[in-house]
Amino acid sequence: MSDNKPLVGIIMGSSSDWDVMKNAVDMLKQFGVPYEAQVISAHRMPDEMYAYAKSARARGLRAIIAGAGGAAHLPGMVAAMTIVPVLGVPVPSKYLRGEDSLLSIVQMPKGVPVSTFAIGEAGAANAGLTAVAIIATTDDALAAKLEEFRVSQTAAAKAMVLPV
Ligand code: RP5
């Protein structure tokens, strides 16, 4: 990770997705994984989506985190055009609270997978952690950091005190 070229691409359908998707960015920052983040809308920027997906592997991306809300076709469309693993984050929507986003992303037909996460912040954070884990498969120093992260979470849980 010395040359700081992005290893993870984070894309989202709108700037309105940022409050959720920044949780993925925060994880990558925390682990020092180089990333890029931008708006790529499947239905409003189809040409840019195509170019992004088609160039992702050659540009060195090892994972793509794609967040979208509503009829959330961005992760599936990107996955259709690259073999870079796509991690889909359902963003909460105004009327159906993200259940529409979740079902749109998770129900990929056999053959083109999108790894689908929980709706909202937890899903974005876990997509970030999964991207870290993907990079860590070939980076021992990063794997050690991920182990430490788990150990510290365990310690924090053990230290929890209930107000009883
Ligand atoms: C989707 O439509 C985006 O991912 C976003 O979640 C949703 C609403 O977009 P805006 O109308 O806020 O731009 O494409």
Please check whether residue 33 is in contact with residue 62, taking contact to mean a CB–CB distance below 8 angstroms: no
Please report the pLDDT score of residue 97 as a whole number. 96
Position 144 pLDDT exceeds 70: yes
Cβ–ligand 1 contact at 68 (below 6 Å) = yes
The mean per-residue pLDDT over the stretch 77-100 comes to 97
Position 155 pLDDT exceeds 70: yes
- Residue 58 exposed, middle or buried by CB count within 10 Å (0-12, 13-18, 19+): exposed
Nearest Cα to Cα of residue 12 among 122, 99, 109, 86:
86
Position 3 pLDDT exceeds 90: no
Cβ–ligand 1 contact at 55 (below 6 Å) = no
CA distance 138 to 152: 23
Cβ–ligand 1 contact at 20 (below 6 Å) = no
31-55 pLDDT tens trace: 999 999 999 999 999 999 999 999 9
Ramachandran bin of 59, using left for φ above 0, alpha for ψ from -120 to 50, beta for the remaining angles: alpha
Residue 17 counted as an annotated binding residue = yes
> Element (H or E) spanning 81, and its range?
none
User: Regarding the domain delimited by 8-158, which CATH topology (the fold level of the hierarchy) does it fall under?
Assistant: Rossmann fold (3.40.50)
Cβ–ligand 1 contact at 96 (below 6 Å) = no
Please report the pLDDT score of residue 2 as a whole number. 53
110-119 pLDDT tens trace: 999 999 999 9
CA angle 57, 127, 137 (to 5 degrees): 60
Segments making up each domain of the chain, as ranges: 8-158
Please report the pLDDT score of residue 4 as a whole number. 87
Cα–Cα distances in Å, from 140 out to 77, 84, 134, 143, 151?
32, 21, 12, 5, 17
Q: Give the residue whose CA is nearest to atom 14 of ligand 1.
A: 13
Question: To the nearest 10°, the Cα dihedral for 12, 14, 18, 23?
Answer: -20
Please report the pLDDT score of residue 1 as a whole number. 64
Q: Give the residue whose CA is nearest to atom 3 of ligand 1.
A: 13
Please check whether residue 87 is in contact with residue 31, taking contact to mean a CB–CB distance below 8 angstroms: no
Q: What does pLDDT average to over the chain? A: 97
Residue for token pair 């997509």: 127
How many Å is the maximal CA-CA distance in the chain?
Answer: 58
- The atom number, within ligand 1, closest to the CA of 16 reads 12
Please report the pLDDT score of residue 161 as a whole number. 98
